Structure 1
Amino acid sequence: MTTTPSVPATTADKIDLQRRPGRWIGHWDPEDGRFWRTTGRRIARRNLIYSIFAEHIGFSVWLLWSIVVVRLDDVGWTLTTGQALWLTAVPSGVGALLRLPYTFAVPVFGGRNWTTVSALLLIIPSAGLSWAVQHPEIGYLPLLLIAATAGFGGGNFASSMANISFFYPEREKGWALGLNAAGGNIGVAVVQFVVPQVIVLGGGLALARAGLMYVPLAVIAAVCAFLFMDNLAEAKADTGPVWSALRHRDTWIMSFLYIGTFGSFIGYSAAFPTLLSSVFDRSDIALSWAFLGAGVGSIFRPLGGRLSDVVGGARITVLSFVLMAGGAYAALFSAQERNLTVFFVAFMLLFVATGIGNGSTYRMISRIFQVKGEDLGGSPQIMREMRRQAAGALGIISSVGAFGGFLVPICYAWAKSVHGNIQPALRFYVGFFLVMLVVTWAAYLRPGARMARARV
């Protein structure tokens, strides 16, 4: 009697993704170990790569004005420190407002489809900046309105994070979301490094090109998303889970904490070049070295997610607020003593801490909703619903948190105009970070708390 040798099944034989036209995937179950090893990981990694690229361009456009304002006087604009800080703050505020509808766009249109559209929208602020800086006769208000369109780049973050959260299993979300966010965040450092080089090469004309050079990059990001990314049917549900996320107390607690982590990161990134230029009258340092802050913050974000995967996000978040309070106090001391070196180092510590906190808070969100699903019985249907609610919460939290990017420059502008220095703003930040530390401990680390036992 002879037996037929068994032939290993191909990946296609093993997993039916239920593909549909328009690059839709009907079956997606990353929590299934076999599915993830044979099929899911490869597809998720591909989507993550192109998501990072699109988000990177979005963040770069979002923070274009943070570095352009430092040299607007070279092309005929005469702005006060307060007006310059408003030009950096308004794009952050608009980006924060757009994050909620951008989150809804993923379940409505599909992650791949919306990434394509949102990348193309970046053409508007890029071209607008290029035109506006060459026409100082238009006045400050039109300039401010054109700067506001850069908020399109800020909205990209929410839809990108919500989309990628569906692709990865719970045990790897901290690292994946950290990489996705860091790839976007580092766009801030890139734009603050590249634009000064462009300015040096050609004065006012090059300042206009600072916006124009992002037009082809936005088109490339859109084309890559259209050709290589996928839509998930699991993500294309009704928008009910997003509204359901609003009912959870934890959604609002995490929104508050995210103001302290991401809001501080984007706000400090926007304001740092202007502060170096106005407080210490060192525009040369602002143009040459300000990019380091956003750079180190971006690099440390995945580390925050990775550490949170190991020891729990709440513990890492508390650590980040300790470091932020220390950094703000050191910045206050250096501002009082007019010590530029200590000021610069203090802000580097702030950026490191915000990067770590960004990664840890995002890891906490997915874990919180996983625990909630387990408490409701942990059935596949319940866990799937909680993953959708977690994705909705990510958008809500990122929207609320991003308002910190608007408030930070405005707080500095207020302190400078009313008190003549930024010291009152720094005193406020020290106390603010300490309050957030206490809130994190009370909600997620207090002995006996459900989330503490689950090592959220």
Structure 2
Amino acid sequence: MVRSHRIIDWDPEDRAAWEAGNRAVARRNLLWIVACDHVAFGVWTLWPVMALFMPRQVYGFSAADKFLLGATAALVAAVLRIPYSLGIATLGGRTWTMLSTAVLLVPTAATIWLMAHPGLPLWPYLACAALTGLGGANYAASMTNTNAFYPHRLKGSALGFNAGVGNLGVPTIQVVGLVVIAVAGPHQPYWVCGLYLVLLTVVTIGAARYLNNLDHATYAVRDLRLSLSESDAWLLALLYVGTFGSWIGFSFAFGQVLQINFIAAGQSHGQAALHAAEFAFVGPMLGSLSRIYGGRLADRHGGNRVTLVVFVLMVLTAGLLVGLSAGNNRVSGAATAVTLTGYIGSFIVLFILAGLGNGSVYKMIPSVFEARSYLLAVDEAERRRWSQATSGAVIGFVAAFGALGGVAINLALRQSYSTTGTPTSAYLIFLFFYVFAAVLTWARYVRRPTAPPLKTGAGRATLPE
């Protein structure tokens, strides 16, 4: 098996096989999947970091243009996540992960060239940002791959670990950017790209050596098409827009929002870039770590309950953010230290809550469709195949749909700054969506937590712990 990198028969629910060696195989694959995902997330966030190195007087790009770079990367990732998750099903986890990681060398190298040639129009930068979006598409494939390797009793923790450590790629590249700005100055972005060229090479070789292809497909196009007829696929996708969409959208925008405020307070571009970088990585880092814990909380208390609490707290925090922004608009001059502290604190809390919600929503997906599978009038083998395939398909779809939240957040902030010069109207949109998501979670997954009676007469299936 190790020589061919191919596993012919994999049943994670077989406890005897799991304890006899499958656990170690799953753990090895998970660790290298996460390593590739971690570096890919860093490449996905490359241009929001590069924006800190791009003073307007040198490159000629406004704040709205820089938000557009982030929105472009997020949009491409959202569009490609479903095809990427199908790539895992078609070529296998090892083969697809190798290819999808190696291709990220292209936009990383192209970024070095573009940063060395200021004065070019915006479109080449947008094209390169679009290619970095391939790194965000890797996420759906990695989660689908992990879902296939782990039993239901451990999916929350495994998926949470995969997503959490993978998501840490965002604050990691932001820390790298901070170190480069602090040590080499705000005019040396090439060190960031050079480091990621090395990391991409290392994890691609590691994927080739240590990952496995499962002989059976995780799911097929037919499974995806059938899963989209399930209303829960769309409802869970909306919840994921509020959690992951918030996390990635704020990750892309937080540094730029801070930089705008620091410049408005009278700092030079270099000072503002350094101070923004000092804070920008904290929120994504804490959100990534909380995602790991969110999966464990969901395993213990149920994904539906954890998700509801998360959205209620996000409503309160977004309300505070709206109040701070509206209050600052009524005061002439630069933002006060109290207001800036409130901004930073509110965003960090939203990052943490979004991370917890990421883990809990992903726990809900296999739980919902495992419960639904007991309603099918089929034998046990077909029931388990349907549950696994449908969960994998919905994971890919939800990951793609959720990334649209990152697009929406960057476009909302871009439009808000362009029309009013402040982010208040964008914060109001975020607040209204969190209210909607909280109501949806309570009405569909908490208020009525059980499925209809089973046709097989086996009792009732619990939804969706």
Q: Distance in 2 between matches of 1:330 and 1:33?
A: 48
Match of 1:178 in 2: 160
Structure 2 residue aligned with 1:283, among 273, 291, 295? Answer: 273
Pairing partner for 1:454 from 447, 456, 463? 463
1:379-438 Cα shifts (integer Å, max 9, x gaps) = 122112220111011001100110111110110010111111100111111111010011
Correspondence 1:270 to 2:252: yes
Q: Please say if 1:116 is aligned against 2:98.
A: yes
For 1:401-420, list aligned pairs within 5 A.
401-420=402-421
| Equivalent pair of 1:166/1:235 in contact (CA under 8 Å) | no
2:315 corresponds to which of 325, 336, 343: 325
Give how far 1:375 is off. 1.8
Counterpart in the other structure of 1:12:
none
Q: Is the 8 A contact 2:104 2:134 kept in 1?
A: yes
Query: For 1:37, which of 16, 19, 44 is the aligned residue?
Result: 19
1:422 corresponds to: 423
Q: Deviations over 1:310-342 (max 9, x none)?
A: 111011111111121122112222223340011
**What is the CA-CA distance between 1:122 and the residue it aligns to?**
1.0
Show the counterpart of 1:360: 360
Query: How do residues 246-265 of structure 1 correspond to structure 2 at under 5 angstroms?
Result: 246-265=228-247
Shift of 1:217: 0.9
Q: Which residue of 1 aligns with 2:384?
A: 383
CA shift in 2, pair 1:75/1:425, >3 Å? closer
Alignment correspondent of 2:69: 87
User: 2:116 matched to which residue of 1?
Assistant: 134
Q: TM-score, normalised by structure 1?
A: 0.92
Gaps of 5+ in 1: 1-18
- Residue 16 of structure 1 is matched in structure 2 by none
* Mapping of residues 126-165 of structure 1, within 5 Å: 126-165=108-147
Shift of 1:75: 8.6
Q: What secondary structure is seen at the aligned counterpart in 2 of 1:447?
A: coil
Task: Measure, in 2, the Cα distance between the counterparts of 1:363 and 1:425.
Answer: 29
- Equivalent pair of 1:106/1:114 in contact (CA under 8 Å): yes
| Counterparts in 2 of 1:429 and 1:176: CA distance versus 1, 3 Å | same
Structure 2 gap segments, 5+ residues each: 264-271, 329-334, 453-460
3-state SS of 2:137 partner: helix
Answer yes or no: is the 8 Å Cα contact 1:26–1:232 preserved in 2: yes
Are 1:60 and 2:69 counterparts?
no
1:309 aligns to 2:299 (yes or no)? yes
> Is the Cα contact below 8 Å between 1:183 and 1:298 reproduced in 2?
yes
Amino acid at match of 1:367: S
1:129–1:146 contact (8 Å) kept in structure 2: yes
- Of 74-83 and 56-65, deviating more is 74-83
Listed one character per residue, the Cα deviations across residues 231-250 of structure 1 (whole Å, up to 9, x for unaligned) are 11233564322222212111
Q: Is the 8 A contact 2:84 2:138 kept in 1?
A: yes
Q: Deviations over 1:153-177 (max 9, x none)?
A: 1011000000110000000000000
Letter of the aligned partner of 1:85 in structure 2? Answer: F
The answer to whether 1:296 aligns with 2:278 is: no
What is the CA distance between 1:454 and its match in structure 2? 3.0
- Structure 1 residue 445, shift from structure 2 partner: 1.1
Q: How many residues align?
A: 438
Q: 1:94 to 1:50 in 2, by over 3 A?
A: same
Determine the C-alpha separation between the residues in 2 that align with 1:182 and 1:273. 20
SS of structure 1 residue aligned to 2:254: helix
C-alpha distance in structure 2 between counterparts of 1:74 and 1:400, whole Å: 33
Question: 1:370 maps to what in 2?
Answer: 370
Partner of 2:217: 235
Once residues 247 and 187 of structure 1 are traced to their aligned partners in structure 2, the CA distance between those partners, rounded to angstroms, is 34
Identity %: 34
2:220/2:389 contact within 8 Å kept: no
CA RMSD of aligned residues (A): 1.8
Tell me whether 323-332 or 418-427 shows the greater mean CA deviation.
323-332
**Normalising to structure 2: TM-score of the pair?**
0.91
Deviation digits for residues 41-71 of structure 1 (CA, Å, limit 9, x no counterpart): 1100000000110000000000111121022
Amino acid at match of 1:56: H
Which whole-Å CA distance do the structure 2 matches of 1:409 and 1:279 have between them? 16
Is 1:395 equivalent to 2:396 in the alignment?
A: yes
- The question of whether the paired residues in 1 share the 8 Å contact of 2:292 and 2:356 is answered with yes
Question: Which moves more between the two structures, 295-304 or 196-205?
Answer: 196-205
SS of 1:136's equivalent? Answer: coil
- Tell me, what secondary structure is at the counterpart of 2:216? coil
